[in-house]
Amino acid sequence: MTNQDRGTDPEIPGKPTSASRTTLSHIMTGNDTNLLGTVHGGVIMKLVDDVAGAVAGRHSGGPAVTASMDEMAFLEPVRVGDLVHVKAQVNWTGRSSMEVGVRVLAERWNESTPAVQVGSAYLVFAAVDADGKPRQVPPVVPETERDRRRYQEAQIRRTHRLARRRAIMELRQNRAAEGIED
DSSP string, 124-142: EEEEB-TTS-B---PPEE-
Which residue, 176, 28, 21, is CA-closest to 87?
Answer: 21
Identify the three-state secondary structure at position 52.
helix
pTM for the model stands at: 0.88
End-to-end CA distance of the chain: 41
The per-residue pLDDT string of the chain (182 residues; one tens digit each, 9 = 90 and over) reads 444 444 555 678 999 999 999 999 999 999 999 999 999 999 999 999 999 999 999 999 999 999 999 889 999 999 999 999 999 999 999 999 999 999 999 999 888 889 999 999 999 999 999 999 999 999 999 999 999 999 999 999 999 999 999 999 999 999 988 888 76
**Nearest-angstrom CA–CA distance, 15 and 72:** 26
